[in-house]
């Protein structure tokens, strides 16, 4: 694996490539969720590029930019093991001074769900992802379904900015108790992680309710709340049942596809998870 730190060196490599290039953008602190995206890229594309860039603009002042987990040596080892072709490892100067500014069309999706609690977040994410797309010029890019709203927003951005990049969405990877893998899980002890699996278990109670034909979203949200508060240390930021296209809360579940998503604070860590449900499929 080659490690490239500058845009100029990357451009020289990129100009020599004729075939498909899969791109997996990351903040580092890689886990099996990232590895599954990389494996998909390796399957579908001739070359795979992974970026590690801890993007400051997607963190608010009160968030964990300074303490965000960093495991660079281990990340390099794991990427090498998977025979990734290029690790793009720019610093802030490279991304913010040596890559042209991008103008991201604003979207209604930015201010829903995660955007309500983290208003800065999708502006930071879309700006850096567009800048990375402009440098990497991938044919394919791989995003995880755990960050469902991010995935929808990047899909929309690819369409509105007319990138010819195919976005491949990849299923959430979970630990054996069901907790969705996230770099932030490293803030939790082994016992905390076991307890945090209640988030997924509570979502699955909602799914059972849907399977049984409960169509009132408030009843379904109550099922989630009642289940999760059995652990007194869980604090719900939101539980949402939203239309998958516009991410607005829905009044009655009919035949549309819905996104059931949540953010929960536990031991000072904000954990998110979701599932997609289509009533007519059952
Ligand atoms: O999902 C992430 O890890 C980040 O939001 C991303 C896509 C790498 C942008 O910084």
Q: Which of 29, 147, 172, 272 to mutate to test the pocket of ligand 1 (most atoms within 8 A of CB)?
A: 147
Provide DSSP, 100-160: ----PPP-GGGGSTHHHH-TTHHHHHHHHHHHHHHHH--SEEEEEGGGHHHHHHHHHHHHH
Ligand 1 mean position, distance from CA 149 (Å): 12
Which residues lie below 8 Å from residue 248, measured CB to CB, with a gap of 6+?
Answer: 112, 242
What is the chain's length?
282
Say yes or no: CB of residue 26 within 6 Å of ligand 1. Answer: yes
Pairing state of beta strands 257-266 and 269-278? Answer: antiparallel
Q: Which of 24, 27, 122 to mutate to test the pocket of ligand 1 (most atoms within 8 A of CB)?
A: 27
Say yes or no: CB of residue 170 within 6 Å of ligand 1. Answer: no
Closest residue by Cα to atom 3, ligand 1, is: 26
Amino acid 114: pLDDT: 98
| DSSP conformation class of 54 | -
Amino acid 143: pLDDT: 98
pLDDT in tens, the chain (282 residues): 999 999 999 999 999 999 999 999 999 999 999 999 999 999 999 999 999 999 999 999 999 999 999 999 999 999 999 999 999 999 999 999 999 999 999 999 999 999 999 999 999 999 999 999 999 999 999 999 999 999 999 999 999 999 999 999 999 999 999 999 999 999 999 999 999 999 999 999 999 999 999 999 999 999 999 999 999 999 999 999 999 999 999 999 987 799 999 999 999 999 999 999 987 654
Say yes or no: CB of residue 129 within 6 Å of ligand 1. Answer: yes
Say yes or no: CB of residue 128 within 6 Å of ligand 1. Answer: yes
Closest residue by Cα to atom 2, ligand 1, is: 26
Q: Which of 71, 128, 182 to mutate to test the pocket of ligand 1 (most atoms within 8 A of CB)?
A: 128
Measured CA distances, 219 to 19, 124, 180, 205 (Å): 51, 35, 24, 12
Determine which one of 31, 34, 120, 232 is catalytic. 34
- Catalytic residue status for 120: no
Closest residue by Cα to atom 9, ligand 1, is: 125
Amino acid 282: pLDDT: 46
């Amino acid at each position: 694996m080659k490690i490239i730190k500058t845009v100029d060196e990357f451009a020289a490599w990129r100009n020599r490539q004729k075939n498909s290039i899969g791109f997996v953008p990351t903040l580092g602190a890689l886990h099996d969720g990232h590895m599954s995206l990389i494996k998909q890229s390796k399957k579908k594309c001739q070359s795979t590029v992974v970026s590690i860039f801890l993007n400051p603009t997607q963190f608010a002042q009160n968030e964990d930019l300074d303490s965000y987990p960093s495991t660079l040596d281990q990340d390099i080892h794991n990427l090498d093991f998977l025979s990734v072709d290029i690790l793009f490892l720019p610093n802030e100067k490279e991304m913010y001074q040596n890559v042209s500014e991008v103008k991201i069309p604003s979207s209604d999706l930015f201010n829903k769900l995660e955007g309500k609690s983290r208003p800065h977040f999708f502006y930071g994410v879309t700006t850096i992802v567009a800048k990375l797309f402009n440098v990497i010029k991938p044919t394919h890019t791989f995003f995880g379904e755990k960050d469902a709203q991010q995935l929808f927003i990047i899909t929309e951005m690819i369409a509105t900015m007319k990138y010819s990049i195919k976005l491949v969405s990849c299923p959430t990877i979970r630990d054996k108790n069901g907790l969705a893998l996230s770099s932030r899980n490293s803030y939790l002890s082994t016992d905390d992680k076991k307890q945090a699996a209640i988030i997924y278990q509570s979502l699955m109670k909602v799914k059972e309710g849907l399977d049984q034909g409960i169509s009132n979203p408030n009843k379904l949200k109550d099922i989630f709340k009642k289940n999760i508060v059995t652990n007194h240390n869980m604090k719900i930021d939101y539980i949402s049942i939203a239309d998958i296209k516009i991410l607005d809360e829905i009044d009655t579940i009919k035949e549309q596809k819905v996104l059931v998503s949540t953010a929960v604070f536990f031991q000072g860590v904000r954990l998110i998870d979701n599932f997609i449900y289509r009533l007519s499929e059952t």
